Structure 1
């Protein structure tokens, strides 16, 4: 069954261009011209991925993604025009999975959509990892800490799962960007630092048998202790 994408974009030309190219790629495409309409469409069609413009009438992209994240973990790629004030870190903290700057090439858009879809559909690795006081279930995108489910954004779950699936192995920030965000992600390494910091805050004091450890000058690892 074809994946359904929702485009929420107030520029009709961009909206139509995206629709034509993505339908050629085999996606079913729905679209909306403002944030409020887009949110209604999201609740109606339950898309597999959202392309979301930042600056829009009625309701901007920041508010839309807040509303989406309150009810769903559906991947969201933010669209922003060059020159607009766009805090990448804020976008990631709100739950965006990626961002694209306009003007963009359609090859880049399609590559990023494919990369995000791959990460959400990856069934090759074991679905569940278990450590002391911690269960990471990538299949259901759940984290269980001391028997209680913890609300953590999808990208933080993916990063924690990736590190914990290779305990005690050190990964550079660039490796983590490639493996967790995808080889075609154009963000900088600060993205990794932000997500690690937020995970540490949430998992502080959970166990003395493992930790997210910084290896200075290199990167990060999920360190287990005897």
Structure 2
């Protein structure tokens, strides 16, 4: 868990002007910044300083941003935001598959970048501090009626409150996911998506809803087609880690043209 006294951000950017702009935006948001100009130095800086947030340019000399992201993800859960002049959808998907939490195209608006960072930081803290009763209450207010329409069953393991669905368990308090008595390592974004689906039960959550949920809970946020595609990539990564398959889902169903929901509970 990061402390409020160690709000460190690493910037990995080969353009000196953009590097300084990112430093200014992050420092105005209350971060101490560590600036690097290439992927190798960036990986070392993340390892040394354990930052909360890392911004990463895609096109750099030496190892590019995609490979740098993969190396960082091998040891760090830092929030990873990729920045690039490439606007093609395939580049966005490649960045997310490499482990990025968000993908922003240049030229970017400093205010939007700061809002995205603050929204990412706010979401895990809210999830960790909310009680099981609050989460259940929020889901109860929105879910439809029916024998299997409710959220995942609440269970208790140790001191944390857990939600369970067909053997898959999640603790918001401990930020842990367990399956068959083994911990499943998820990125923050994957955890937050799974948490939202477990809290919603059989109620369908649209891609727009899920993208907005990851951005901010306090105000309206424009959700683009790229944001929706990002949700598809994050869900695909989540399913891969769980060993779930869209054609024969055990936990997460795709509702074609709409979004996602939990599978029905097992009989008996």
- TM-score, normalised to structure 1, is 0.87
Stretches of 4+ aligned residues off by more than 6 angstroms: none
CA gap of 1:217–1:22, structure 2 versus 1, over 3 A, is closer
Match of 1:20 in 2: 24
Match of 1:191 in 2: 230
Q: For structure 2, which runs of at least 5 residues remain unmatched after alignment?
A: 133-160
Work out the number of aligned pairs and report it: 224
The offset of 1:199, in angstroms, is: 3.2
Q: For structure 1, which runs of at least 5 residues remain unmatched after alignment?
A: none
The offset of 1:135, in angstroms, is: 1.4
The residue correspondences of 1:1-226 to structure 2 (distance < 5 A) are 1=5, 3-82=7-86, 87-122=91-126, 123-126=129-132, 128-182=162-216, 183=221, 186=224, 187-201=226-240, 202-204=242-244, 211-225=251-265, 226=267
2:124 and 2:192 in contact (8 A); partners too: no
- Matched position secondary structure for 2:169: strand
**CA RMSD for the aligned pairs?**
2.6
2:79 and 2:101 in contact (8 A); partners too: yes
CA gap of 1:47–1:117, structure 2 versus 1, over 3 A, is same
- Matched position secondary structure for 1:107: helix
CA–CA separation in structure 1 for the residues paired with 2:49 and 2:223: 27
CA gap of 1:17–1:199, structure 2 versus 1, over 3 A, is closer
CA–CA separation in structure 1 for the residues paired with 2:29 and 2:15: 21
CA gap of 1:139–1:37, structure 2 versus 1, over 3 A, is farther
The offset of 1:130, in angstroms, is: 2.4
1:35 and 1:59 in contact (8 A); partners too: yes
The offset of 1:21, in angstroms, is: 2.8
